[in-house]
Structure 1
Amino acid sequence: MPRISRISRRTFLAGLGGLGGAAALTACSGSGGSQPPAADFEASGTPSPTPLPPVTVNAATGPVQVPGEPLRVVVLDTDVLDSMLTLGITPVGAALPAADTGFPAYWPASRTAGVRLVGPAGAPDLAALRALRPDLILSNQTRDGDRYEQLRAIAPTVLTQTTGAPWKANFQLHAQALGRVAAGAAFVASYQKHAGQVAGALAAAKLSGRKVSLVRFTEGGGIRLFGRQSFPGSVLADAEVGRPDAQNVDQSDFEIPLDQIGRADGDLLLYATYGDPEKAGEEAALASPGWQGLGAVKAHRAFPVDDQLWFQGIGYTGANFVLDELQRFLGA
């Protein structure tokens, strides 16, 4: 079966429509990163809008005062990229994981066309970041805790503790920092409704008991299985589907050697690759007798998925697409 590498524009628009009218309108009418700063309005002779007062948010590093209406925002990980685009704001700059060759395909190119890359996540180019004149920087301590002082010298910097499992709480902080709390609440409610609909459809089709396995081949990180305390694991839990015993654990992810590939089995097996497939071990694993002997593989129930969606699309838009794909893979 060919690798799933892109979600169509039609699917994207359908998913956006499912997020609810208020949130969708916000996404369409939100202030983008390409909007000029207040000084440019003044230079053109157009009156500047009255700025909103600063807001203090409680980040992982403590209270941080941020602009009341930040327009030039730089994001340094994939979860904050999803949060910003979901809330209708286009960042002026972004850092992506080192092995990614472009922005996630579940977003139309028109939404990311003007975003400047500022180096790899975890090692951003501070000079390039500074040149963008941001008024807010968003990231997490796992990626950027060791350069927090350097970042906040450039602009107010809001860090969550980590990414992945706490994505829902992190989104709330992102919405506060971006001044989009009401829009954020609309997206949360729409996602909860969507997850309930998918869970209901799976239950009606008697598919809720199917155990779904999540496998990721990572360059430099080997073969990884994902538990409940991960972004995709939490989305599966919201859809009320089962997990194989080896992955039905309160962990994010853990590495296994190839000779333990049997722990990756499930009624449905979904796998993705980060980086070069050969260096990540995907090619060797898929050709191995252990993989070929998995029940899901023999039943033709093992499917490749888009890594940038399932494992990096850590936010409400990414989660909505994951729900749609999960339902399709399970056949409900």
Structure 2
Amino acid sequence: MHKHRGTVIGTLALTTALSLSACSSDDAAKDKPGPPAADGTHTVKTAMGDVKVKNNPQRVVVLDTAELDSAITLGVKPVGATRAGAEQAFLSYLPQSQTTGITEVGEIANPNLEKIAGLKPDLILSSKIRDGQRYQQLSAIAPTVLTESTGYPWKQNFRTHADALGKKPRAEQAIKRYETHVAAVTKALGGKAKAAGTQVNVVRFVEGADIRIYGKQNYIGTILADVGVGRPAVTDKAKDGFSYDVSPEQIDKADADVIFTSTYGSPGKAKVTETTTSGLWRGLKAVRDDRVFQVDDELWIQGIGYSAADQILDELQSDLTR
């Protein structure tokens, strides 16, 4: 099994905050809309209705991994963020320089409201599925922008985050970079037809739960679809399009040309060794062909954003062209 090391190969660079010129009145500036006035407000459409936020919020708290990825992608370092997992305070695929100084405000779906209030935020970002039940309390602290859910609608959610952060032009640049990168990976795989001829599965070992064979209605599924690789028939059986869950004794259902595996939590409690030393596992085509790649769970499954996607695309190209 191939294993990726925790190197950071993202290409998104942080820039300094936008500065506004009071004397910019030339014709070119009139023709091209500039950033909103720094001291004004604008309305953002959210899962909880319209929310009025500052045009350029400076003290942002993010309560999930997708919101953290979005903020960093858009050049905004939050003042507070929830913990991504038990072992890692924040997403490990992001350079430390981009997360150093962020205050931890509890766990995802269980944030510490007192800590959040103490940071005096001017914007809070999360989703209804994570924090809908705390919306009134969060809104009493600062304008709170919630998307409906996380994962599969990540591209739409990113635009909502960008709107709330006053970074819509920068968001369009990130989207264009992603689309260009996707096209380059598809080309490297030999074009759309050849890419579609390679059946790819993503298998996640989860502590205290069944093994997940990821379907198409999730974050990683959308990236694989954008690149154009094939997906085995089992992915169409995924519950709500998300995942088809199996026991170690059913791992033969994960058969594919290529398998990417990740682990959430303790490998022992996630039954990694038990599964990958079995005869069923050794009989899988990807295992026989040495085309199983172990990937970072935080990057491939938890990150959910354009900074993560940039690195995933690099890994996809590297592994699928071996």
Q: Normalising to structure 1: TM-score of the pair?
A: 0.86
Do structure 1's residue 131 and structure 2's residue 118 form an aligned pair?
Answer: yes
Counterpart mapping for 1:1-332 below 5 A: 1=1, 3-8=3-8, 11-12=9-10, 15-16=11-12, 24=13, 27-30=14-17, 51-204=38-191, 206-248=194-236, 251-331=241-321
Could you tell me how far apart the structure 1 residues matched to 2:5 and 2:276 are? 18
Q: Deviations over 1:3-22 (max 9, x none)?
A: 324124xx23xx23xxxxxx
Q: Deviations over 1:209-245 (max 9, x none)?
A: 1111101111233201111111001000110111111
- 1:5–1:281 CA distance, 2 compared to 1 (3 A): same
Q: Deviations over 1:28-82 (max 9, x none)?
A: 2237xxxxxxxxxxxxxxxxxx843111101001101111110100101000000
Local SS of the residue matching 1:152: helix
Identity of aligned residues (%): 45
Q: Is the 8 A contact 1:74 1:136 kept in 2?
A: yes
Q: Is the 8 A contact 1:269 1:301 kept in 2?
A: yes
**Which moved further from structure 2: 196-205 or 211-220?**
196-205
**Structure 1 segments unaligned to the other structure (5+ residues):** 17-23, 32-49
The amino acid across from 1:224 in the alignment is: R
**Which moved further from structure 2: 50-59 or 322-331?**
50-59
Q: Is the 8 A contact 1:7 1:105 kept in 2?
A: no
Q: Is the 8 A contact 2:3 2:295 kept in 1?
A: yes
**1:40 alignment counterpart:** none
The amino acid across from 1:217 in the alignment is: F
**1:37 alignment counterpart:** none
**2:30 alignment counterpart:** none
The amino acid across from 1:56 in the alignment is: T
The amino acid across from 1:7 in the alignment is: T
Local SS of the residue matching 1:311: helix
Could you tell me how far apart the structure 1 residues matched to 2:236 and 2:316 are? 17
Local SS of the residue matching 2:124: strand
Q: Is the 8 A contact 1:269 1:303 kept in 2?
A: yes
Q: Is the 8 A contact 2:89 2:104 kept in 1?
A: no
Could you tell me how far apart the structure 1 residues matched to 2:4 and 2:189 are? 22
CA RMSD of aligned residues (A): 1.8
The amino acid across from 2:218 in the alignment is: S
Q: Deviations over 1:278-302 (max 9, x none)?
A: 1122222112222122111121111
Q: Normalising to structure 2: TM-score of the pair?
A: 0.89
Could you tell me how far apart the structure 2 residues matched to 1:248 and 1:194 are? 27
Could you tell me how far apart the structure 2 residues matched to 1:94 and 1:215 are? 28
The amino acid across from 2:318 in the alignment is: R
Local SS of the residue matching 2:302: coil
Could you tell me how far apart the structure 2 residues matched to 1:108 and 1:299 are? 34
Q: Deviations over 1:248-293 (max 9, x none)?
A: 4670223212222111111110010111111122222112222122
- 1:317–1:98 CA distance, 2 compared to 1 (3 A): closer
**Structure 2 segments unaligned to the other structure (5+ residues):** 19-36
**Which moved further from structure 2: 284-293 or 137-146?**
284-293
Q: Is the 8 A contact 1:53 1:67 kept in 2?
A: yes
1:112, distance to aligned residue in structure 2 (A): 0.4
- 1:171–1:93 CA distance, 2 compared to 1 (3 A): same
Could you tell me how far apart the structure 2 residues matched to 1:142 and 1:180 are? 24
The amino acid across from 2:105 in the alignment is: V
Could you tell me how far apart the structure 2 residues matched to 1:248 and 1:211 are? 13
Q: Is the 8 A contact 2:263 2:270 kept in 1?
A: yes
